[in-house]
Each structure stands twice: as C-alpha cells, then as structure tokens.
Structure 1
C-alpha cells in the first residue's frame, strides 16, 4: 500500500476517512503515526495533518494519554449525514432567486455534462457531482447555508465516492436525475425539484449504506494522478 507524493496530505486524509466510514478501522482502533507512515510509505507529517482533520470531523478522538482512536461510525451516522444534506439542499432550492438561476443554470448543466463525459469514458466523476450540489447551495447567496455546506463538504465527497462505487451500473440514471432537478427548477417548479432532489439523495444514502454493509474498498490505496 503506497501513497504517491503529489497532494499527500489530502490523499492520506481521504483514504483514512473512507476506511473509517466503511468500518475498516473500527471503534477504539489506535491510529499510530509510525505504523501508518510505514504502511502508506509517507512521512509522519501528512499522517499527523490528516489525523488532526479527522478529529475536527469527529471521526477520531484524542485521549489524555496521547493516543488517537477511531470513534464509532455506523449506518445511522451515514443516514444522519444524508438527512442533513436533504434538509440543507432542499432548503437551498427554495431560496434560489429565479433570475439568478436563469443566469447560472448553464453552470449546473456544465457539471452534468462533465459527469456524462466521464461516464462515457468509463470513469467516476466525484468532483463534478459534488460541485453540482455545492453550486445549488452557492446560488442562494446565503452565507450561513454555504458555511454549513463547506463544513461538511469533504465528508460528503467521501460518501459520494463510496456511493459511486456501488452504483457504477446506474450512473446514467443518476446523471439523468441531476438533469431533471435543473429542468424542474428552470420551469419554476421548486416543489417538484425538491421532490426529485430528496429522492436522489435518499437513493444515494441507501447505496452508501450498502457500500458499508458490503465492506467495499478494503484494498483501496491512495494514489495521485500522473
């Protein structure tokens, strides 16, 4: 298991977060910098930075003896995160000014086009999916909503990563769901858009939970692009 040098800290963080969410690290497991450094073939610096961010995300905790241990993360925690996404994003749709949407809907379609192109190239496009949902929140110009989204963005990225592994055969359907959400908004049917968005995220939650149950990703390793 080796992590390449480009974007080491982020790669380490993404890897450890995913392993904790999937349950490959269990409650009470001690994250030892020296051990992880050896396993991932990186220095202790990126490990230390990643662990600090995991603590801020409430996925690990530091004990008084200096040990950092993994906190319990169950199916209910995935469900709670998706419930929070549904509340946040559906509330955002209600706050988007129709004129602002009209001026910016091409950007939403751009994210969809990027997902489509990646699908046709048999690639998973986590970033465009994440960007689509984040942009919906950004269009509200509600700084509190944007701050809430940003605070959970990296965890959402990992959930999308897990979900996309489970739904590789359903990617076209998922892309089409994004299109339908934008079309409903553009037609001024916010109620329908909210319904579609809720169903979309409920499905994503279901697949993410299935990913955890099936224990996917155990042999994954973090690797930068060439």
Structure 2
C-alpha cells in the first residue's frame, strides 16, 4: 500500500486500525516499525506516531521487551465502546441550552438530509453521520465532553466504514432514528430524545457486533 504525503500519520493510523478491526492483524502479532514502513512506503516516524495512538485506543500494546503487538478487539470491545458512547451522548443532551439548540438545530436536520441524499444515491455518508453526533456533543460547549467524544471518534468511524457493506439494508432505518431524536429535542422532550438516542446507539452496537462476527468468522475477509 502506498500512503499519500498529506497527514501521513493519520492515514497510517486509519489503515492499521481498520486492519486490526478486520482481524487481518491477529491478536498478539508483532507489528515491526521497519516492516510497516516498507509495506506502506512511509518513514518510521508516522508509523511510530500511529502505533502510539493505537496503544491509547488499546488496539495495540507495548510489551516489557519493547515489542508492539496487536491487542484484543472483539465483540466485548464494541459493546464497551458503545456503552461509553451512550452514557456520554445521553448526558450531552441534558447540557444543550435552548439557545444553542435554536441556533444549530437546522444543522442537525441538514446532516440528516445529507445522509438521506447519499442513501438515495446508494452511498453511505459516514461523515454526515459522525458530524451529526459531533454537533450534538459540541452544542453543549462542554470541552471535557467534547474531548471524550473525540477520543472515541476514530474507532467508531472505522467500525462504521468496515461494516458499511454488510449493513446497507439498515441505512434508511438509521436515518429515521436520527430524525426522531432531533424532533424530540425540538419540542423540548429531552428525556424522550435520550431514550431514542440510547435505542439508536444500542441497535447500532448490536448490528456492528453481528457484522464484525460475519467479517471475522464468515470468510468474507480479503
């Protein structure tokens, strides 16, 4: 694989994260900087930076002998990731002021429309999906919440990308799940919005777990 020159470490990070999630790099496998540098045609600096970020995400671990090996990524990790996201985003809904909602509500609907337009053209708009949730959290102006959400963002986005073909049939349902959350917020029903958001994310977690099982166990990797 030939990695482009712009934002090299981020491209390396996204590539390695995806390969680990798809089980192409096996748990315990030694990730050698020199080998990855040669395979990806980049210097060792971006490789080292990407591995450091993957360690923070617990997708790799550094052993006492200095070796970096692939960590565990399985169904339990997906559930833990989404349990954290549910807690964070549900709390965020309680922190959005009426003024912030009035100011940015149209953007939430805009992202939903972008998702719908892409779906109508048989495309999954992952960016619009992520921007929707980022805005929900961003509207709180709570920097701690925002930072926590962004720390999960990379793994979530990669998970969506690697399972998108398997979950194509659920795209319209996903769009509608976003819409009812905003509709509830718009009329001041925060608790209902929380419940709907939690249902949406729990459903996403269940479907991603099933999709990853199919990818890893169903002979569809390649």
TM-score, reference length from structure 1: 0.88
2: CA distance, partners of 1:22 / 1:130? 21
Query: Matched residue of 1:29: which SS?
Result: coil
Asked if the contact 1:126–1:161 (Cα under 8 Å) also holds between the matched residues in 2, the reply is yes
Higher relative contact order structure (alpha carbons within 8 Å, sequence separation ≥ 6): 1
Number of matched residues? 219
Query: Hey, what's the Cα distance between the residues in 1 that align with 2:27 and 2:208?
Result: 19
When structure 1 is superposed on structure 2, of 152-161 and 170-179 the one drifting more is 152-161
- C-alpha distance in structure 2 between counterparts of 1:212 and 1:154, whole Å: 17
Question: Normalising by the residue count of structure 2, what TM-score does the alignment of the two structures yield?
Answer: 0.90
- 2:44 is matched with 44
Distance 2:82 2:120 in 1: 28
Report the Cα distance in structure 2 between the residues aligned to 1:121 and 1:100, rounded to whole angstroms.
32
Secondary structure in 1 matching 2:165: helix
1:214 counterpart SS class = helix
* CA displacement, residues 110-147 of structure 1 (integer Å, 9 cap, x when unaligned): 11122122222322221111111111111112222112
Q: What's the counterpart of residue 213 of structure 1?
A: 213
Question: 1:165, 1:202 → 2: CA distance?
Answer: 20
Deviations 1:81-132 (A, max 9, x none): 0000001001111221123212210111111122122222322221111111
User: Does 1:29 pair with 2:29?
Assistant: yes
- Contact preservation (8 Å) 1:28, 1:70: yes
| CA–CA distance in structure 2, aligned partners of residues 124 and 3 of structure 1 | 24
> Equivalent residue of 2:69, what SS?
strand
Q: RMSD across aligned C-alpha pairs, in angstroms?
A: 1.9
Distance in 1, Cα, partners of 2:38 & 2:152: 29
Distance 1:137 1:153, change over 3 A: same
Structure 2: which 5+ residue stretches go unaligned?
none
Partner of 1:165: 165
1:223 corresponding residue in structure 2: none
Match of 1:204 in 2: 204
